[in-house]
Amino acid sequence: MATQIFVNLPVKNLDKSVDFFKKLGYSFNPQFTNEQATCMIVSDTIYVMLLVHPFFKTFSSKEIADSTKVVESITCLSAESREAVDDIFSKAVEAGATAPKDKIDYGWMYSCSFEDLDGHQWEYAWMDPAGMPQHQ
């Protein structure tokens, strides 16, 4: 069995977060969805659990980071093409995301970042390994 990853993120408003990510094209598993949390399906092995703050706090004794002020992580997902990077970025901004920095274009790698409604930083990247510079 392939290893699966479940990224857990605290959100202030679950309904708004679900609406945001639906606009980016993601779907959700109803078996793992209630008023406290939902399971966003990224791929067959990648899932993002969106949990309202009180429920998220039951999993850790630490304070929840204010991701509008500090970076707790950057979730980077691959894209099939440069156009796919631009497409997801446009959808995110239209849905209310903010862009903390300019797109990065190294020729062989192209990426963009945005912050979702709760300030979590997401990055989408396309890479052409054949064009990657060789290190000596």
Domain boundary among 46, 61, 76: 61
Please, which pLDDT band fits residue 1 given cuts at 50, 70 and 90? confident
Angle CA(90)–CA(105)–CA(78) in degrees, nearest 5?
A: 60
Q: The domain spanning residue 49 has which CATH number? A: 3.10.180.10
14 shares a domain with 70: no
Please, which pLDDT band fits residue 49 given cuts at 50, 70 and 90? very high
**CB count in 10 Å sphere of residue 58:** 9
Domain boundary among 26, 42, 61: 61
Determine how β-strand 109-115 pairs with β-strand 46-52.
Answer: unpaired
Verdict on whether the full-model pTM lies above 0.75: yes
Tokens 């949390």 — which residue?
37
pLDDT tens-digit readout, 56-111: 999 999 999 999 899 889 999 999 999 999 999 999 999 999 998 899 999 999 99
Given a cut of 70, is residue 136 above it in pLDDT?
no
d(CA 123, CA 34): 27
Task: Specify the 3-state DSSP secondary structure of 16.
Answer: helix
Identity of residue 116: D
Q: Which residue in 132, 62, 122, 52 sits closest to 88, CA to CA?
A: 122
120 shares a domain with 73: yes
Write out the residue range of the structural domain in which residue 98 sits: 65-136
Please, which pLDDT band fits residue 122 given cuts at 50, 70 and 90? very high
Domain boundary among 34, 61, 88: 61
118 shares a domain with 93: yes
Please, which pLDDT band fits residue 133 given cuts at 50, 70 and 90? confident
74 shares a domain with 45: no
86 shares a domain with 115: yes
Tally of domains in the chain: 2
Query: Which residues, 6+ apart, have CB-to-CB distance to 27 below 8 Å?
Result: 40, 41
